[in-house]
Amino acid sequence: MNLIAAHFPDSWLFGGWLATLWCLLHSARRVPWLSLQQAELTAWFGATVVVLLLWQFKAQLEPGIAFHLVGATALTLIAGPDRARLGLAAALVGDTLQGGNQWGSLGLSWLVVAGLPTLLTAALLRLAQRRLPANYFVYIFLNCFAAGALSMWAVGLAGCLLLALAGAYPPAFLFEEQLPYYFLMGWPEAFLTGIHLTLLVVYRPQWVHTFDDRFYLWRK
């Protein structure tokens, strides 16, 4: 979702920037910077670069509407929600420097492609840990596969709602012709997130911040 600044009132753009800056400052304060291990930094920075690369493979049908994998769920599970939000902000800045986004709408774009999916992924993870059995397959199928698909659908729905409320495109065009593409994109998002997290928790569990062997494998 590459939002165009011209589609939105200045008050929306300003509000998007304020909300984004507040969220990023809040997340930055919660990161234990001095106690991060090398494996955590490697996974965080590496996953952020992969997300930025994923965003370069996109299809744009109309100005402000672009289809690409999001990667927010995977980054949230690898680095945790706070570091994921910072990493996605860095990826958005990098994408904007390459001409993929506009600075004026960067705040709104971050709320859609970073704030919303990281919040949803973190909420599903807390729900599963509190209400469901401490099981490896619950983590993989619910928190990786399902959360990846739901995040993509949430990004598409939120983007279409923003564009419809701003009057950028007719609602019928957005919800009947564009939103179904996001539903289809949810399946490859789920598959790639699930497969890559499965491999990581098997071969590099120290790179996955939200996966704890003591909780999922030892707890009975």
- Read off the pLDDT of residues 155-190 as tens digits, 9 standing for 90 and up: 999 999 999 999 999 999 999 999 999 999 999 999
Q: What digits encode the pLDDT tens for the residues 139-161?
A: 999 999 999 999 999 999 999 99
28-46 mean pLDDT: 95
* % of the chain exceeding 90 in pLDDT: 84
Burial readout 72-84 (b: 16 or more C-beta within 10 A, e: otherwise): bbbbbbbbbbbbb
* % of the chain exceeding 70 in pLDDT: 98
Secondary structure (3-state) at 199: helix
Tokens of 201: 């928790």
39-53 mean pLDDT: 95
Q: Above 80 in pLDDT, residue 51?
A: yes
State residue 25's pLDDT score.
98
Q: Above 70 in pLDDT, residue 219?
A: no
Of 78, 70, 77, which is closest to residue 116 (Cα–Cα)? 70
Work out the pLDDT band at 2, boundaries 50, 70, 90.
Answer: confident
Secondary structure (3-state) at 190: helix
Secondary structure (3-state) at 139: helix
Of 148, 146, 142, which is closest to residue 128 (Cα–Cα)? 142
The pTM score is: 0.94
Q: Are 137 and 38 in contact (CB under 8 A)?
A: no
State residue 213's pLDDT score.
81
Measured between alpha carbons, how far is 153 from 35 in angstroms, rounded to an integer?
35
Measured between alpha carbons, how far is 68 from 212 in angstroms, rounded to an integer?
30
Q: Mind listing the domains of the chain with CATH numbers?
A: 5-216 (1.10.1760.20)
Q: What digits encode the pLDDT tens for the residues 91-143?
A: 999 999 988 788 999 999 999 999 999 999 999 999 999 999 888 899 999 99
Q: What digits encode the pLDDT tens for the residues 57-88?
A: 888 778 778 889 999 999 999 999 999 999 99
